Structure formats: C-alpha cells, structure tokens
Amino acid sequence: MAFEGHVPIADMKRVLAQRPRGVSGLAVGGMPLGSPGMEVAGMKSQPFSVIAFGPGGRRIYARHG
C-alpha cells in the first residue's frame, strides 16, 4: 500500500482496515490548504479529494472540506 502527500490519517487507517479490491494506494493532488501538513492558523481550508489508485485506474476515495 502506498500513500502520497497530504492524505488524512483516518483515510489511511480506513483503507488499511478495509483493503478494498483494486486499491494500491491513496494520494491527494496538489497542496490543498487544510490537508495534513498544509494547515495554516486563521486560514480557511480548501475542499479536497483523496484519490484511490491501482491496476484498475483511479477513483475518489474520500472528500474533505
């Protein structure tokens, strides 16, 4: 299982517990404000999606914000 940049820990724990078929990893594209590691005090978070990827392609795994 692979994880790349700014994936919330709750999503990582859920994918590891559920082991969905065809999912090799999770990623968050870009650097959305409010994602893990991109928190800024006093700034509004941006909505972002966590993408699941694997042999079958990509799909939205979770939405935040």
Write the pLDDT tens digit of every residue in 8-58: 999 999 999 999 999 999 999 888 888 888 888 888 889 999 999 999 899
What amino acid is encoded at 53 in this protein?
F
Domain count, the chain: 1
Query: What residues make up the domain containing 35?
Result: 2-64
4-42: buried (b, 16+ CB within 10 Å) or exposed (e) per residue? Answer: eebbbeebbeebeeeeeeebebbbbeeebebbeebeeee
Q: What pLDDT is attached to residue 63?
A: 97
Whether residue 3 has pLDDT greater than 90: no
Whether residue 4 has pLDDT greater than 80: no
Q: Decide if 26 contacts 60 (C-beta within 8 A).
A: no
Q: What pLDDT is attached to residue 37?
A: 83
Q: What pLDDT is attached to residue 30?
A: 86
